Amino acid sequence: MNTTTIAVIGTGIMGAPMAGRLAEAGYTVTAWNRTSDKASALHARGVVPANGAVDAVAGADVVICMLSSGPVCETVLIDDGVIAAMRPGSILAVMSSIPVETAIVLAKACGDRGIACLDAPVSGGEKGARDGTLAIMAGGDEAIVDRLRPLFSCLGRVTHVGPSGSGALTKLANQLIVASTICAVAEALTLARSGGADPARVREALLGGFADSTVFRQHGLRMVEGNFTPGGPAKYQVKDTSTALGFARSRGLTLPVSEEVDRLFEAMVDHGDGELDHSGVILELQRMNAGGGSSA
């Protein structure tokens, strides 16, 4: 049994399999989720559910936060007293996608109490969380990243990218690439169907070429099959693209492709599809083109 004790705050689509993997690796893991059933369901994997977030972190060596957004992280970690309940010398790893500014606020709040803080968001979706193949981009003290490498290795591959806020910024860059690629794949398959080609065979033909990518393989298949069960809900994609564009504006930057991609996902959410996987953006293209094909 590993002697490091871990508290996981947030056991949704990503947090639940991450908590399960850590428990199965021999860590003592306590978990809390706002919807308590999601944490209780992990008991079979060796995770101990907690009655409250503050209860979960009491005595923990490492606290992993996998909540849905920056504002929710600030509310739970600062306003609701999670950081205040953590012991000095412990480590907070915020693995949610949050604004750069939020990462810096959380790092300061932790520093004031003698707690180390990393902003260490992840990419790889639900499949990566289940398989332990997440890309983890960590901002903060590199020595703290090194201390957590054995823990992170249960979840995926970690890279230290710079000081506090750098992990959050790297995730925003990741999300712009993912969002724009999903939209490009959706447009390509929509075009193929409109011209009379079989989208499934078009996808097959392009595998291994320059158009190939993880997004093309996984989300292109979702589009071909019409399977939009959420791995990454569209409403969170909008959160991240909008956050990235806000940061870009604060730096005096104009990102025209990302702005159009953000508008497309916003339209998808506005039409009631925010709970669908972000690959469901192809449905928005079909609406824009007068239903040119029921699925791609």
Catalytic residue among 38, 171, 235, 239: 171
Q: Which residues is 159 bridged to in the sheet?
A: 137
Helices and strands in the chain: count of H runs, count of E runs: 15, 9
Amino acid at 275: E
Asked whether 197 and 189 are in contact (CB, 8 A), the reply is: no
- Distance (Å, rounded) from C-alpha 183 to C-alpha 34? 32
- CA–CA gap between residue 147 and residue 144 (Å, rounded): 5
Say if residues 197 and 188 touch (Cβ distance below 8 Å).
no
Query: What secondary structure letter does DSSP report for 228?
Result: -
Q: Which one, of 113, 111, 157, 102, lies nearest residue 134 by Cα?
A: 157
The residue with tokens 């992993």 is 64
**N- to C-terminal Cα separation, the chain:** 48
Question: Which residue from 112, 122, 128 is spatially nearest to 77, judged by alpha carbons?
Answer: 112
235 noted as active-site residue = no
Residues noted as catalytic:
171
